[in-house]
Amino acid sequence: MNKRIAVVALGGNAIEDPRGGGEPDSSRMMFTAQTVGSLLREGYSVVVTHGNGPQVGELQGALLRVGSTLASRLDLLVAMTQGEIGSLLAEGIRNVTRNECVVVLTSVVVSKDDPAFSKPTKPIGRYLDEAESAALSRRGLIVREQCVDGRRVYRQVVPSPMPLDVVELRVIRTLLDVGNVVIACGGGGIPVVTANGGFTGVNAVIDKDLASGLLAARLGASKFIVLTSIDAVMMNYGKPSQKPIPRLSVSQAEKLLNEGAFEEGSMAPKIMACAKYTKTTKNDSIITSPERLRDALKGLAGTRIVKEETE
């Protein structure tokens, strides 16, 4: 077995058409496959995870328009989009790397008592105008107002409970042992709770970065990499004073998270996931863009989360 496992969490920019709508973009998929190939050449076994927020929202909207009762089953929508995005990623990875790639429909355990169920915060789907927002609200869905580029828009929000365990962990480990690239925990995993000695799906969407960090820790991965739209984490992001943060210790990351220095639903969960992983495994984690990953692995780009600066 290859002991060096890298878990790579793909942000939307790694797979989506930049014109919006949640449509996959073939050139971005190809670049993602090349990124996986470079990690394979570095001697890593690779697990790829991915988000699905836009795709879940678009799928739910289509089901609502035709009156399907499936629209209210977020667990099943996550499963559907795991298959959709996973198959496209796997096709690209196989074609580029000539390595076998397996998609695992992954369930992630959450607590039925998680307070997130009574306080939906995770945005899904596209930005909505006021009329579209009102239409969703009339259907009993929860919509929150946002300000984007100086204009008022709306977006549906859903419960996002904390991930506790990965049901298919042993299967994923076995597939890695025999040399496969594995795509798992798509969209944060299908949310399930324990019930009657087994599991049952619940109405939520788990944050993919937190689920990915949990998977990396459970696998004992030597590297956890979060790929996003920016080259490094920025202090004062979007302001004239913004500047990249090349390195954060776990305690520094936790302090900044507690102070609310990073945007909820965007950079905050990425940093939280990396800090949790690094705290558990003592291994570094990296946040960067796909384009700068090679440099980030050499310490020349990105943001690296480390144990403690004094150690």
The three-state secondary structure class of 224 is strand
If you search the block for the tokens 């298959």, which residue do you land on? 83
**What is the number of alpha carbons within 13 Å of residue 133 lying toward its C-beta?**
16
Q: What tokens appear for 195 in the block? A: 């019930």
Query: DSSP label at 176?
Result: H
Question: From residue 11, how far is each of 3, 142, 178, 248, 308 by CA, in Å?
Answer: 25, 24, 27, 21, 27
Which phi and psi angles does 246 have, rounded to 5°?
A: -75, -25
- Give the strand pairing for 165-166 and 107-109: antiparallel
Neighbours of 173 (CB within 10 A): 17
Instruction: For residues 193 and 196, give the distance between their C-alpha atoms in angstroms, rounded to a whole number.
Output: 10
List, by residue number, the catalytic residues.
Answer: 12-13, 122, 208, 270
State the amino acid at position 67 in one-letter form.
Answer: G
Neighbours of 179 (CB within 10 A): 12
Neighbours of 208 (CB within 10 A): 28
What is the H or E stretch that residue 154 is in?
Answer: strand 151-158
Q: What tokens appear for 210 in the block? A: 């937190």
State the amino acid at position 119 in one-letter form.
Answer: K
If you search the block for the tokens 């995993």, which residue do you land on? 189
Q: What tokens appear for 152 in the block? A: 């008022």
Neighbours of 117 (CB within 10 A): 17
- In what side-by-side order are the strands of the sheet with 143-148? 122-128, 151-158, 143-148
